[in-house]
Amino acid sequence: TLLSQFEIQEIDQTVLLWLNDIRQKTIAAMQQRLDVHEKRDNRDLVTNVDQDNEKFINDKIRHFDAEAHIVSEEGFGDHNQDMNGRVWFVDPIDGTMNFVKQKTDFAVMIALYEDNQPVLGWILDVVNNVVYHGGPQIGVFANQLRLKPPIDDNLSEGIVLLSGARLLYGMFGYDKIAKAALGYRVIGAAGPSFIRVIMGQAIGYSSKMMPWDFAAGQVLAKTLGLSVSDIDGKALDMLSSNIVLVATNRAHRDILTLHQS
Ligand code: IPD
Ligand code: CA
Ligand code: CA
Ligand code: CA
């Protein structure tokens, strides 16, 4: 059973209320000492706030939508095998290193898909108190303000955002892409990078990401007419890691061509 536009609007409003609580809890926790742990290595961090936020959000989802599956980063989700029915994606703090060291340029991200189709996405910029949210049925908003599609600049006319580690080691042709762009930046977090592309501040962004890193951004970007695919131009696999490319249509073509050359 596919969701009606009315139901989608209700879900959007409900999640905005959760995110308001999450924002207050996250800001309060930032006044206290953070409990920081290493996962795989010293660049892969998790804090008490990542874990508390994920528990809070997943608990809300389970009460609100008991049949749905949850795909989330810190281990409180389900072991989901397919994209049938409703699937929620949760990244409780995206950009944990920025959160710990910069106290800015991090986000909380939630997305809802139904039968593998994007329905709604939310990217909360905690520090600036802006939620980027919406989907194909309702459009995209920054808080209450409806967003227009960004200008379709090509690669040489704009700033491209890239994953620093892959750029440093010349992976995925990122060195060629950075050279061909007007400028390049490394933001260090997926959500804040997607926000810049959605707002027209960057013409594109590419990084290797897990589904919770790109699920919300993909909904918002596609709704605004931007191109989202993997670096070979194929549709993203929502159940594994992908080398994601989001860009204006013209920059997307430029980057795919460069990548193949
Ligand atoms: C990470 C950030 C980073 C990206 C990594 C992600 P996390 O998210 O978005 O920019 O390069 O692939 O895992 O772990 O801080 O939520
Ligand atoms: Ca992480
Ligand atoms: Ca993330
Ligand atoms: Ca995270």
* Atom nearest to 163 CA in ligand 1: 11
Q: From CA 99, how far away is CA 189, in angstroms rounded?
A: 10
Provide long-range contacts, Cβ within 8 A and 24+ apart, for 162-169: 162/186, 162/205, 162/206, 162/207, 163/206, 163/207, 163/208, 164/188, 166/207, 166/208
Residues 6+ away with beta carbon under 8 Å from 90: 54, 57, 58, 61, 70, 71, 72, 73, 77, 109, 110, 212
Ligand 1 near 95 CB (within 6 A): yes
Determine the Cα–Cα distance for residues 207 and 201; give it in Å rounded to an integer.
Answer: 17
Hunting for tokens 């936020």 — which residue is that?
53
Beta carbon of 207 within 6 Å of any ligand 1 atom = yes
Best mutation site among 209, 241, 242, 244 for ligand 1 pocket (most ligand atoms within 8 Å of CB): 209
Contact in structure between 9 and 138 (CB atoms under 8 Å): yes
The Cα diameter of the chain in Å comes to 50
The whole-model pTM stands at 0.98
In whole angstroms, give the CA distance from residue 111 to residue 71.
10
The tens place of each residue's pLDDT in the chain, 261 residues long, gives 689 999 999 999 999 999 999 999 999 999 999 999 999 999 999 999 999 999 999 999 999 999 999 999 999 999 888 999 999 999 999 999 999 999 999 999 999 999 999 999 999 999 999 999 999 999 999 999 999 999 999 999 999 999 999 999 989 999 999 999 999 999 999 999 999 999 999 999 999 999 999 999 999 999 999 999 999 999 999 999 999 999 999 999 999 999 988
- Closest C-alpha among 178, 236, 169 to residue 205: 178
Q: 215 CA to middle of ligand 2, Å? A: 15
What interhelical angle do 48-64 and 5-30 show, nearest 10?
150
Length of the chain: 261
Residue 69 CA to residue 169 CA, distance in Å, equals 36
Closest listed residue to residue 135, CA positions, set 117, 111, 119? 119
Tokens of 13: 């409003």
The overall average pLDDT reported for the chain is 97
- Using alpha carbons, select from 233, 253, 230 the residue that is nearest to residue 242: 230
DSSP 156: G
Q: Please tell me the predicted confidence (pLDDT) of residue 1.
A: 62
- Structural domains present in the chain: 5-146 (3.30.540.10), 155-260 (3.40.190.80)
Alpha carbon of 74 to ligand 2 centroid (Å): 8
What is the end-to-end Cα distance of the chain in Å, rounded?
44
User: Quick one: which atom of ligand 1 is closest to the CA of 98?
Assistant: 15
Give yes or no for residue 242 CB within 6 A of ligand 1.
Answer: no
